[in-house]
Amino acid sequence: MTTVSVPHPEQSPPQPTPQTSDKERRRTLISSFLGSTVEYYDFLLYGAAAGLVFPHLFFDKNIDPFLGQLFSYMTLFTGYLARPVGGLIFGHLGDRHGRKNILFVTLMVMGLVSIAIGLLPTYATIGVAAPITLVLLRMIQGLAVGGEWAGATLMAAEHAKAKSRGIAASIAVSGGPAGAVLSTLVLGIFAGLPQEQFLSWGWRIPFLLSALLVIIGLYMRYQLTESPEFEAAKAAGHVETGVPLKRIFTVYPKQTILAALAITGSLFIQALMAVAVVPYLVDHGLIEQQPALMMLTFSAFLHIFAIPFFAWLSDRVGRKRVMLLGAAISIALIFPMFAAFNSGNSLLIFFGFILGNPIIQASMYGPVGAFLAERFAPEDRYTGVSVTYQLGSVLGAGLAPIISSTLLHLNNGWGTTNIALYFIALMVISALCVVLDDTPNREKTRVIDASEPV
């Protein structure tokens, strides 16, 4: 057995990384997937409710409906603004004290916030305190998610064999669409209630059900072992030195900026599909609310498998090649996707959802987990991946509902064409940043078992 470790940019190479058993790898993958599923069930459930429920219940009914929806999307955006802060806080703790305990905390916080939202009085009951409290809860949610994505992805990637790091990281990433499946499915079931009952109590049940999911997720995370790469860095004495955030912008400034912009386009379409498309279809009379939610649910289900497929492909031909292919696919298919949505034909609308999630979004997003992890040394990686991903998330996903809603209401008569052109511009920028990133390939410079083909 021979091992090769990622050398720290400023320090001597760390000790050989402890090898992880197949049983531990499987447990870590399952736990990372389930934990991310629960986390994103909570986070994306808020996104779905922001377009369908909150404008009716948490703002003055006398304001213009467009403004009510815009204000609701702005409360959604506060969660994205909080995510980089959460990434800094939990990333620092994760790089100093390990991944496992931090992931336990972030999951618990998310569950408590969702339960609180499910019990929150509306504007009719407590007035302006309702949207203010909603914003505060959303910000706490954002803090927790800021630490979740990187931690779950790293636990999966750092336990994996070198030849399968991309697909291992993608298993945790796939928890996002799995959470979307659960959130839209549960919300869609209750959306079938009469509108008065749905807005009175039906929308609250999906938030309260979070308690059960969190208990399952916490149990799974309690069973985990710590990341072997973190343990190796700690044993080498690298963990106790320096401030991770300072190092991110002094040792890795180019990687951080380029990687954040490289993922912006795929995160924009992710949030557009999860939050804005169903309200658009319903508000324009193109389809009813419940079937639209079910179509989104099915596309998110396919998304769970599409992300690992493109990640697996990146293990075979390289991250950058797959991400550039994904950018080209996205640019080619965005206009057909919107044409399908605007057709008013149920079958074509369903086809539009399939284009949007498992093809357009997944094709560039699949390799992202490993792509980001390979840009930072283990002792800086939690912070680096958190900061990079959450910056991209703010610029892409966080602004998506606000920008798309604003572009739809421009007076040029182009409607969704405005959104498509904006998305293409983002994808061009993302692809250019992938090309410009010249970080040394770490896919084969972590722990390599010489007895295994790489």
Q: Which tops the pLDDT comparison, 424 or 179?
A: 424
Which stretch of DSSP H or E encloses residue 158?
helix 129-159
Query: What is the predicted pLDDT for the residue at 386?
Result: 87
pLDDT category of residue 6 using cuts at 50, 70 and 90: very low
Let me know if residue 317 belongs to a domain.
yes
d(CA 194, CA 190): 9
Let me know if residue 341 belongs to a domain.
yes
Q: What is the CATH number of the domain that holds 28?
A: 1.20.1250.20
Average confidence (pLDDT) over 108-125: 90
Highest mean pLDDT among 43-52, 178-187, 346-355 belongs to 346-355
d(CA 247, CA 241): 10
Average confidence (pLDDT) over 357-374: 92
pLDDT category of residue 239 using cuts at 50, 70 and 90: low
Distances (CA, A) of 135 to 81, 139, 179, 398, 407: 11, 6, 21, 14, 24
Let me know if residue 441 belongs to a domain.
no
Let me know if residue 443 belongs to a domain.
no
For the cut 60, the answer to whether the pLDDT of residue 7 exceeds it is: no
Query: What is the predicted pLDDT for the residue at 14?
Result: 42
Query: What is the predicted pLDDT for the residue at 19?
Result: 55
Cβ-Cβ contacts under 8 Å for 40 (sequence gap 6 or more): 145, 175, 176, 178, 179, 180, 183
For residue 301, the number of C-alpha atoms closer than 13 Å in the C-beta half-sphere is: 9
Let me know if residue 8 belongs to a domain.
no
Query: What is the predicted pLDDT for the residue at 238?
Result: 66
Let me know if residue 445 belongs to a domain.
no
Query: What is the predicted pLDDT for the residue at 454?
Result: 26
Average pLDDT, the chain: 83
pLDDT digit string (tens) for 398-415? 888 889 989 998 888 898
Average confidence (pLDDT) over 440-453: 38
Query: What is the predicted pLDDT for the residue at 440?
Result: 63
Which stretch of DSSP H or E encloses residue 390?
helix 378-393
Average confidence (pLDDT) over 26-31: 82
Cβ-Cβ contacts under 8 Å for 209 (sequence gap 6 or more): 186
Query: What is the predicted pLDDT for the residue at 67?
Result: 75
Query: What is the predicted pLDDT for the residue at 412?
Result: 84
Backbone phi, then psi, for 243, in 5-degree steps? Answer: -110, 120
pLDDT digit string (tens) for 338-363? 999 999 999 999 999 999 999 999 99
Query: What is the predicted pLDDT for the residue at 244?
Result: 66
Average confidence (pLDDT) over 48-59: 78
**Nearest Cα residue to 439 out of 295, 279, 251:** 251
d(CA 15, CA 7): 10
Let me know if residue 1 belongs to a domain.
no
Query: What is the predicted pLDDT for the residue at 241?
Result: 59
Q: Which tops the pLDDT comparison, 4 or 143?
A: 143
Residues spanned by the domain of 114 = 22-436
Let me know if residue 254 belongs to a domain.
yes
pLDDT category of residue 242 using cuts at 50, 70 and 90: low
Query: What is the predicted pLDDT for the residue at 53?
Result: 82
Task: Indicate the number of domains in the chain.
Answer: 1
